[in-house]
Amino acid sequence: MNIKSKIYFAVFCGLLLTSFESLAQKQDNFKVVLDAGHGGTGAGGDPGAVKNGIQEKDINLAVTLKVGKLLEKYKNIDVAYTRKTDVFIPLDQRSKFANKEKANVFISIHCNSHDNPKPHGTETYVLGISRDKESMEVAKRENSVIFLEENYEENYQGYDPNNPESVVGLMLLQGEYKNQSILLASAIQKDFTNRLKRFNRGVKEQVYLVLRGCAMPAILVELGFISNKNEADYLKSEKGQNELAQSIANAIVSYKNEHYAYSEPFEYLATHETASVDNNKAIFKVQISASGTNLDAKPQNFKGLNIISKTKDGNLYKYFYGETNEYKTAQNFLTQAKDKGYKDAYIVAFKNGKQIKVSDAIN
């Protein structure tokens, strides 16, 4: 990495830590921010892909509004939109809006396109780095909108779509939400495939600038290819838009119910295991995440897990589930954490307030 890239990277890291340190997700209803990709008219507008007489921005907006209308029927779900009309919104402003709304999830809705008219099907992206040539080309196209923005070099910390080194810093914030993003993306692809019988191109990783600043699970949905005549006809039809919107809404509600509903403690906690912990003995906990974001230790911020504690180590917050003197009980905590989606969770141990080796705690 050259000196200029290192400077951009250092500045970006500092901005992340200061901008999001105290950001927490909404504490009441489940908040969904819907983002209709592209938008705007004239020289400063961004139509997105244009094929078969379709401007991508129009399909994106139509489906987004339909998704929102379906979700608004639920009393415990709040919906906010980055745009509800044909206007241009800079990419970084979309994620900033989601953060300001303290959203639980961010969904950016798009249509795909290709020079070859044969590709078809749906795919959903999470923020990540992939060397897949085809998905990299899609990302370059989606990200090229930054060149319509003023001060884009400053806003995106020197990001260059053609320079892989420049994307490293973009991964930092979304890293802590990656597993949750994948779960949400998978739920959408599953409904597209199983209920609508759309061709499944899978859940993929790629550098999408619209996702890079989101302090919550964030995904980008590609509804289909407007470059494919049959799929273009489906995408512009009322039937197709209604079906796709229903699938996205179904997946969001399913994800919410599974990962954000309040959950009852395990049966073995009915004896108030955590209340009777002997602080003179080794204490086992399950570390579920670590990040620069300071979240309240409440169930709605941790997929319904309701025995949460946290520590601060420099600029890093570590979050733990459960507290017990019994290693067997800690293993049960670990199982529940992984069932909730914390696949990288693991057991840790403390003695007299200091972390020790788990093997020493067991002995």
Does 44 share its domain with 192? Answer: yes
pLDDT tops 70 at residue 287? yes
Other CB atoms within a 10 A radius of the CB of residue 320 amount to 25
Does 205 share its domain with 89? Answer: yes
- The predicted pLDDT at position 214 comes to 83
Provide the total of helices (H) and of strands (E) in the chain, helices listed first.
10, 13
Final residue before a domain boundary, out of 259, 289, 306:
259
Length of the chain: 363
- Integer-rounded Cα radius of gyration of the chain: 22
Does 294 share its domain with 317? Answer: yes
Question: 68-82, 163-177, 230-244: lowest mean pLDDT where?
Answer: 163-177
Does 192 share its domain with 299? Answer: no
Angstrom CA distances, 159 to 166, 169, 220, stand at 5, 9, 19
Does 199 share its domain with 276? Answer: no
Does 74 share its domain with 107? Answer: yes
Q: What CATH number does the domain containing 331 carry?
A: 3.30.70.1070
Name residue, tokens 């400053």. Answer: 154
SS3 of residue 34 by DSSP = strand
Cβ–Cβ under 8 Å, residues 349 and 284: yes
Among residues 92, 90, 93, 111, the alpha carbon closest in space to that of 44 is found at 90
**With bands split at pLDDT 50, 70 and 90, how would you rate the model's confidence at 19?**
very low
- The predicted pLDDT at position 146 comes to 46
Q: What CATH number does the domain containing 207 carry?
A: 3.40.630.40
Helices (H), 1-90: 3-20, 56-71
Does 44 share its domain with 143? Answer: yes
Average pLDDT, the chain: 79
What is the number of domains present in the chain? 2
- The predicted pLDDT at position 66 comes to 97
**With bands split at pLDDT 50, 70 and 90, how would you rate the model's confidence at 131?**
low
Segments forming the whole domain that contains residue 314 = 267-362
Does 348 share its domain with 232? Answer: no
pLDDT tops 50 at residue 24? no
Name residue, tokens 């199982």. Answer: 335
Helices 56-71, 238-259: axis angle to 10 degrees equals 50
Cβ–Cβ under 8 Å, residues 57 and 47: yes
Q: What is the pLDDT of residues 78-120, one digit of tens each?
A: 999 999 999 998 888 898 899 899 999 999 999 999 999 999 9
Cα separation, 306 vs 27, in Å, equals 14
Does 178 share its domain with 251? Answer: yes
**With bands split at pLDDT 50, 70 and 90, how would you rate the model's confidence at 270?**
very low
pLDDT tops 80 at residue 252? yes
Does 213 share its domain with 196? Answer: yes
Both tokens assigned to 308: 């949460």
Over residues 26-47, the mean pLDDT reads 83
Final residue before a domain boundary, out of 259, 276, 291:
259
Does 253 share its domain with 309? Answer: no
Both tokens assigned to 160: 């260059």
- The predicted pLDDT at position 3 comes to 45
Does 94 share its domain with 206? Answer: yes
Final residue before a domain boundary, out of 221, 239, 259:
259
- The predicted pLDDT at position 26 comes to 38
Higher pLDDT, 115 or 28: 115
